[in-house]
Structure 1
């Protein structure tokens, strides 16, 4: 299982919009999503991929990191695997 943190995301973006965005850039569909509230300016989401390892997400991450999406420059990080 691997997790992806997407920071500085518009808090009104839906789960379906996030899924469509990631799939468009080659990511597999994620299994769950958790909103991480920001201090008003930089909310984030953590998306979890059950059957995908962190090495796969690390190869895909440069495709979307620092991209301007939905009126914000998002930052995308692969979270450390819980088993590492």
Structure 2
């Protein structure tokens, strides 16, 4: 499983529109999305159950710091977290 954190994504953008945007840049459809509220910089955490971190890192470079919906979004691969 790999996770991608998209930062500075407007809260009112529908999940499906995020999926379409990412697929335009070669991403496969994500398996799950979690919205994260922030003080002026909301984010979306995307989970890909059948994608490795290495592949996601390659794709991430295509969209990091891209201007979309009047904002510059950031894209970061979340390091693997250990579950207790």
Fold in common (TM above 0.5): yes
Q: CA-to-partner distance for each residue in 1:34-76, whole Å, 9 max, x for gaps?
A: 000001x100000000100110010111100000001100000
How far apart in 1 are the matches of 2:69 and 2:80?
28
Q: Give the equivalent residue in structure 1 for 2:12.
A: 12
RMSD after superposition: 0.8
> Which residue matches 1:23?
23
Unaligned runs of 5+ in 1: none
For structure 2, the residue ranges without an aligned partner over 5 or more in a row are none
How many residue pairs were aligned? 82
TM-score for the superposition, normalised by structure 2: 0.94
Runs ≥4 residues deviating over 2 A: none
